[in-house]
Amino acid sequence: MPRTKLIYYAEQDGTVPMVQWLTKLPHGAYAKSQAYLRLLEAEGHELRRPIADYLRDGIHELRPSIAHVHYRILYFFHGSEAVVISHGLTKEDKVPGAEIERAIERMARFRANPLKHTFIRSKGE
């Protein structure tokens, strides 16, 4: 199975929410999040629970947890060969609706102008 192209969503001003979030994580959470992103890149649409799940309206989540802290990475697919990482968050009870809405808005902006909202991560990010 071919690898899925992994794209980080970039805001209009060039900031990349996922990179900003990752840099604030404790080392263990950062490492586990990177491992989950590699799994998503390798398995794409085939990735399922407990690693990933579908939320709603085209938005999916990666579900890394470490030391009883539940992290979530929201993403959406762009065609069959690319996945766009919207942003990450620390989950309390459930993923807040506002966070899903943020990902939906980013998906709409990305689809309207993919080149403007694309950041391709380097191997170390």
Coil, strand or helix at 51 = coil
125 part of a folded domain: no
Q: pTM for this one?
A: 0.93
Give CA angle at 74 (107, 46), nearest 5°: 95
H/E stretch holding 23 reads helix 17-23
- Please give the Cα distance from 6 to 17 (Å, whole number): 15
Read off φ and ψ for residue 113, nearest 5 degrees.
-155, 80
Number of domains in the chain: 1
CATH number of residue 75's parent domain: 3.30.2310.20
Domain that holds residue 74: 5-119
Residue 36 lies in a domain: yes
Two tokens, residue 28: 């263990």
Per-residue confidence (pLDDT) for residue 123, from 0 to 100: 56
Whether 39 is covered by a domain: the verdict is yes
In a domain? residue 18: yes
Q: Identify whether 85 is part of a domain.
A: yes
27 pLDDT higher than 60: yes
Would residue 41 count as lying in a domain? yes
Q: Number of C-alpha atoms within 13 angstroms, CB side, residue 121?
A: 22
Percent of the residues in the chain that have a pLDDT greater than 90, as a whole number: 86
Query: Residue 89: pLDDT above 90?
Result: yes
Work out the pLDDT band at 124, boundaries 50, 70, 90. Answer: low
Residue 124 belongs to a domain: no
